[in-house]
Chain A
Amino acid sequence: MTDQVTVPAGSQRLAGSRRGSLVGWAFVTPFVILFVLFGLVPVIYSLYLAFTNRSGAGVGLANFAKAIDDFRFWPAVQHVAIFTIIWLVLLAVLVVGLTLVIHRIARRRTKAFIRFAYYIPGALAGASSVLLWLFLLDPSVSPVSWLLRLTGAETFQQVVSSERLPVIFALIAFWTGAGGWILVLYGALNTIPTEVMEAAKVDGAGPIRSAIQIELPMIRKSIVYMLILTLAAGTQLFVEPQLVSQASFGIVPNDYSVNQLAYVFAFGQNDFNGSAAISVLLLVVAVVGAALFVWRGKLFEAE
């Protein structure tokens, strides 16, 4: 280690040097290989598709114009916007709140059981749950028929009518997604040293105050990460409307969300260029949102 530059006081990073840089690259090279193969090249390829036509000739923004002019585009954007707002707020507030609450439970077994129980729906993805939603959303056979009737719907087709859909999708997405994020935030909470929590208690901080002033700031990066991915997942809504579309035999259309429209462009209309254009639009939205969260949440800074 003799060619290492002395570590400046307070810095927690092994100081830079050519050897240090090589070492760093040695650690990330396997990931970078996979990243290039399955991340970077596909994204660049999609960008290439978005600006060219079927024969490979450049067409500028024509694909984007075609996508935006499509008669299904703006309704889909509306659907996704409403859904994302409901979804983001629901997830952010409830997941953080529930994790804090679970973290304070006394008994280890109860905690473990609750985390497990809250997670189980997360294992139910895709084809398997179509049947589940077919039954769950049908007031005549659903285990929560009283809840459905409360909203004024008497038949399955009424339950999936357009006004209710954003809330239904948000509930489904929350049901499957919350457990996983609770796990992540729980792990983050665990990294807070006990001394800090004890000190807070000694200072007389009640559970709510110590949560807001101590715990939340210390798991800030995980929360920011969650918000970034949740915003992206919200704007890229796909699975829930696809499931309910299948379960409703088409009454809920399969082009409800923007991401579904991208799929329809690619595999329904054989228009991979238009599909790539829509994907790029979604990416831009997600990146702008992420930039906002990263900047305010200081995700990339060292601690």
Chain B
Amino acid sequence: MRSSATGHGAGNRHLRARTAAVGMLVGVLALAACSGGTTVGGTSTASDTSSPYGFKAAAQTEGAPITVWVDSTRQPAAKAFQAAHPDIKINIVAYDGNANGSNTFKTKTQLFDRAGSGWPDVAFTTDNNSAAWGSLTGTAALAPVNKGLIPQASLDKFAKGALDVCTLDGVAYCLRNDLAQNVLWYNKKLMDEWGYTVPTTWEDYQTLAGKVATEHPGYIVGTAGDAWTPEIYFWAAQCPANKVTGPTAVSVNTADPACVKAAKLLDGLIANKTMSTLSLFGPEFAQTQGDKVLMLPGPSWYGGAVFQGAIKSPAGQIAAAAPLKWADASSPATGNVGGGAWWISSHSANLKAATAFATWVTSQSAFDGALVPTYPANTAAAADWVKASQKDGYYANDIQPAFETAAAQVWSGWGSPSFSQEAIWAKVVQAGMTKGQTIESLLPAWQAQVANEAKALGYTVTTP
């Protein structure tokens, strides 16, 4: 510095610099103190058997307004609740609902945890693994619902196993909004035309695919181009690639015969070109294979989103059959692809209103006259929904038996850990498939990635 500093000036400079530094330090420490929030990793003090709710709730204020986070699809639900319950004050906040893996709910909750305020009272998200991080042994941001908050009778109104996705150690943390049980979709018109019988086992499905490859090349019996492919084929085979055994424990074994058999099935069908490797919702599928779908194992929401939405199949052609089972399986099992849930914050100041909201919106099959787009998890609402969605006669058969059977067959051995199984499948297996590798050869890599990501998140991983 070229300044002509006198001794006095220099002394002043040092004093000023020191004051500034101290001030800065104080500021930083204040921030650090404020950000204490909840620490992650085992605080069983959040559980409280003396409380009527089963956990240490915040101070309750009668009539306090509640903040509800919804995505654009659930906005009609929130608005309908507002109209039906004018005495409860609610603020509706629209956000992306975790679409496309945005992790918004998790990101924002973590920030609120650090700041100590700001949580919504109820939030909808399709991020079904929220319990993995928000449970009482995690950040304790989510309220347990089956420890006193919601009467068991209400919880029993949901389909069997519907709350499994958000249950850890017997504690459930969510109210399931909709199910996505996998059924076998098929084109009845084509099946009848070509004289095929609808298969009931995966073995028959495989044989039929072989016939289709020779007799009607170009037609497909399934797709393996989306990241949820394992949730359709591997889950149904009861492959133990995603067994969550505790709040921070997961076991993965993709060398298990169940996994290998599912992989072989897919590889065979990809090889004879009856299984597409395009993404169902990308631009290319609708263009090139949209009208060549003979069969399509997939979740219940394919009916609306795929057949009526993406590929626009004509009415009267598409039907649903009960999910396929493996002939050697002890009990029939199917998978599940998604379905959202409602989560109540453990920091809510008006749990009464929050639970009223969550219970009410999950019990309806339609809002303001418009049907919800997906199969409700509440059994009564589901029955109404299936009846109503068939009124326009789009489907070629009665889809109710297939949907109901499948809803009860979702295998409970596929868990919802903190990391995204779909992301892992996409970056390891799909990337490998693009390079021409078979799924069977990618099974070890899949297992390795699951193990690595789980460990990075603090899970104890059991591999054979």
Contacts and interface: CB of A to CB of B under 8 A. Distances in A.
Question: Do A and B touch directly, given a CB cutoff of 8 Å in the complex?
Answer: yes
Interface of A: 5, 16-18, 21, 36, 40-41, 44-45, 48, 54-56, 70-72, 134-135, 138, 140-141, 155-158, 161-162, 246, 248-254, 266-270, 272
B434 interface: yes
Given A17-B4, A140-B284, A141-B283, A41 B426 contact: no
Among B41, B114, B226, B435, the one with the most A-chain Cβ atoms within 10 Å of its Cβ is: B435
A18 B39 CA distance: 50
Contact of A54 (B40, B425, B434): B40
Contacts of A135: 283
A251 B103 contact: no
Contact of B139 (A44, A267, A270): A270
How big is the B interface, by class? 35 or more
B118 to A, nearest CB: 15
A54 B284 contact: no
B39 A55 contact: yes
A2 to B, nearest CB: 16
Contacts of A156: 279, 282, 284
A251 B452 contact: no
A250 B434 contact: no
Contacts of B133: 270
B32 A251 contact: no
B contacts with A: majority SS? helix
A162 B431 contact: yes
A248 B435 CA distance: 15
A248 B190 CA distance: 32
A249 B110 contact: no
- What DSSP secondary structure best describes chain A's contact surface? loop
Contacts of A155: 278, 284, 434
Given A54-B39, A250-B423, A270-B133, A41 B283 contact: no
A252 B427 CA distance: 6
20 contacts: A5-B4, A16-B4, A54-B40, A56-B36, A71-B456, A72-B452, A141-B283, A155-B284, A155-B434, A156-B282, A161-B431, A161-B435, A249-B226, A250-B422, A254-B423, A267-B106, A267-B110, A268-B457, A270-B110, A270-B133
A252 B434 CA distance: 12
A35 B434 CA distance: 48
Contact of B426 (A44, A56, A249): A249
Residue from B28, B103, B435 with most neighbouring chain A CB atoms (10 Å): B28
Contacts, number: 108
Given A56-B32, A156-B284, A269-B457, A44 B100 contact: no
Interface of B: 1-4, 9, 24, 27-28, 31-32, 36, 39-41, 100-101, 103, 106-107, 110, 114, 133, 139, 225-227, 277-279, 282-284, 287-288, 419-420, 422-423, 425-427, 430-431, 433-435, 452, 456-458
A247 B120 CA distance: 29
Contact of A41 (B1, B3, B31, B288): B31
A138 B287 CA distance: 13
Contact of A158 (B31, B32, B107, B434): B434
Contact of B452 (A45, A71, A157, A249): A71
Given A140-B284, A268-B103, A269-B456, A250 B3 contact: no
Contact of B24 (A40, A250, A252): A40
Residue of A5, A72, A161, A251 with highest tally of chain B CB at under 10 A: A251
A251 B3 contact: no
Contacts of A250: 101, 227, 420, 422-423, 425-427, 430
A249 to B, nearest CB: 6
Contacts of B456: 70-72, 269
Contacts of B422: 250
A224 B24 CA distance: 31
Given A41-B28, A251-B430, A270-B40, A141 B284 contact: yes
Given A250-B426, A250-B427, A269-B456, A41 B27 contact: yes
Contacts of A17: 3-4
Contacts of B40: 54, 270
Given A41-B24, A157-B434, A267-B103, A249 B31 contact: no
Given A70-B456, A249-B426, A250-B423, A21 B3 contact: yes
Contacts of A251: 426-427, 430-431, 434
A90 to B, nearest CB: 26
Nearest to B283: A141
B358 to A, nearest CB: 25
A161 B423 contact: no
Nearest to B29: A48
Contacts of B28: 41, 44-45, 48
A248 B426 CA distance: 9
Given A138-B283, A140-B283, A270-B40, A157 B110 contact: no
Contacts of A140: 283-284, 287-288
A140 B285 CA distance: 10
